[in-house]
Amino acid sequence: MTRRRNPAAAVAIPSQPQSAADLLAAMERAAAPAQAALDRLRDGAAAALRRSGAATLVLSYLDCRQRLHKMFPGKPGLPLNPSTWKMIMDLSALMFAEQAEMALRNPIDGSEMKDEQGRAVTITLMGIDHPAWPLVVAGGGVGGADGADEHRNLKILAGATLGWSGVKFEGQELRASAAAAEELYAKLPWLRRQAEEFITDRKNYQRAPTRLPA
């Protein structure tokens, strides 16, 4: 059996370096072969994941940091979010739900609104990937005339409202309907803006990314 030679052992570190710079340079030379071996292992793992059709490639924290520092030189304190550790390899990781719940927020202080039981007040809104979305848009009519665009947008938003929980108006709990939704959006511009912004932000409908097999 042939014993493999450790490439790092061939790099000599001076026992008495002339300066700190000499020691640092020697340490970098000693670490280079090990880093090259790690790079080969990483590249091999990436190739294996691609061949197996894995949905995502999970990168190590250090590798991700190195990549970001190459992209943004001179920013050693660049913050990292765990979501940046993943590199999309399959479009199935970008799939969106047909509907989602929007938690209502107080337009004054931005706090989440609650009902008497302490549960979040929510509105279920259709996403633009819902199969009925084209019908909702078509049902809004044609805009262009004075006030027509406003009326059309209210119709579309009301049609995209699939339900709600804990919604009260003037002391009465409202049953969800397109007519009730249109009336609420017309009387409460802040609520209308929240719903419009929610629908147009795809992140609110993004499904959890496909996980790597265990």
> Are 82 and 111 contained in the same domain?
no
Extract the runs of DSSP E, i.e. beta strands, from the chain: 56-58, 86-88, 99-103, 122-126, 161-165, 168-169, 172-173
**For residue 1, what pLDDT band results from cuts at 50, 70 and 90?**
low
What CA–CA distance (Å, rounded) separates 197 from 194? 5
pLDDT tens-place string over residues 120-160:
999 999 999 999 999 999 887 555 455 678 888 999 999 99
What CA–CA distance (Å, rounded) separates 142 from 151? 10
Domain assignment present for residue 27? The answer is yes
> Are 86 and 106 contained in the same domain?
no
pLDDT tens-place string over residues 67-101:
555 555 555 544 545 554 454 456 777 889 999 99
Give the percent of the chain with pLDDT over 70: 55
Q: What is the pLDDT of residue 71?
A: 52
> Are 74 and 56 contained in the same domain?
yes
Which range of residues forms the domain containing residue 111? 99-204
> Are 122 and 188 contained in the same domain?
yes
pLDDT tens-place string over residues 161-180:
999 999 999 989 999 999 99
Q: What is the pLDDT of residue 214?
A: 45
> Are 44 and 129 contained in the same domain?
no
pTM for the model:
0.55
> Are 103 and 81 contained in the same domain?
no
Q: Which amino acid is at 189?
A: P
Q: Give the pair of three-digit tokens for residue 180.
A: 């009730």
Domain assignment present for residue 212? The answer is no
> Are 70 and 108 contained in the same domain?
no
Domain assignment present for residue 17? The answer is yes
Domain assignment present for residue 2? The answer is no
> Are 33 and 88 contained in the same domain?
yes
In this predicted structure, the answer to whether residue 33 has a pLDDT above a threshold of 80 is no
> Are 81 and 111 contained in the same domain?
no
CB 125, CB 164: distance < 8 Å? no
What is each CA distance from 169 to 163, 187, 190, 213, in whole angstroms? Answer: 15, 10, 14, 48
Domain assignment present for residue 179? The answer is yes
Domain assignment present for residue 177? The answer is yes
In this predicted structure, the answer to whether residue 205 has a pLDDT above a threshold of 70 is yes
17-21, 115-119, 149-153: range with highest mean pLDDT: 115-119
Cα atoms found within 13 Å of the Cα of residue 202, Cβ hemisphere only: 5
Query: How many separate domains does the chain show?
Result: 2
Domain assignment present for residue 209? The answer is no
In this predicted structure, the answer to whether residue 19 has a pLDDT above a threshold of 90 is no
